[in-house]
């Protein structure tokens, strides 16, 4: 596994911009709440993992690289949708942590399985 450093820096900056978007466009009345903090931090961490695997990681096999990039892009889109829905419609912090945590762990399990299988 190799990391393309320039693409990683671009993905890191993109993750920062996404998390800043969740910070800036939050409802003014609940800004600074625990839910606001959780959404901002989880949007950064989740998008950093997904975007870095999509853009900058190169694995031993081309097929493995393509599969992991595809899975990462799909999980990034689904995770971004979940983050947007929770930031707009819900203020239930435990449900948010559980749903994003389960989604993130499933993503890590699939990527790990693909990497180990050397497809």
- The predicted model gives 39-48 an average pLDDT of 92
The domain of 53 spans: 2-117
pLDDT tens, residue by residue, 60-88: 888 988 999 999 999 999 999 998 888 88
* Percent of residues, the chain, with pLDDT higher than 70: 94
pLDDT > 90? residue 113: yes
pLDDT > 80? residue 48: yes
The four Cα atoms 47, 53, 55, 57 give a dihedral, to 10 degrees, of 150
Structural domains in the chain (count): 1
- The predicted model gives 10-21 an average pLDDT of 94
pLDDT > 80? residue 99: yes
| Best CA proximity match to 85, nearest among 70, 104, 102, 100 | 100
Bigger pLDDT: 113 or 93?
113
What pLDDT score does 93 carry?
85
């Amino acid at each position: 596994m190799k990391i393309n450093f320039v693409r990683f820096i671009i993905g890191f900056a993109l993750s920062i911009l996404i998390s800043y978007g969740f910070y800036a466009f939050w409802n003014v009345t609940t800004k600074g709440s625990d839910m606001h903090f959780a959404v901002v931090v989880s949007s950064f961490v989740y998008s950093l993992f997904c975007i870095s695997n999509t853009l900058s990681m190169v694995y031993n096999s081309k097929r493995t690289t393509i599969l992991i990039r595809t899975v990462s892009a799909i999980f990034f889109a689904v995770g971004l949708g979940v983050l947007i829905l929770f930031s707009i419609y819900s203020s239930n912090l435990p449900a948010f942590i559980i749903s994003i945590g389960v989604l993130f762990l499933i993503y890590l399990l699939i990527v790990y399985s693909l990497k180990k299988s050397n497809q």
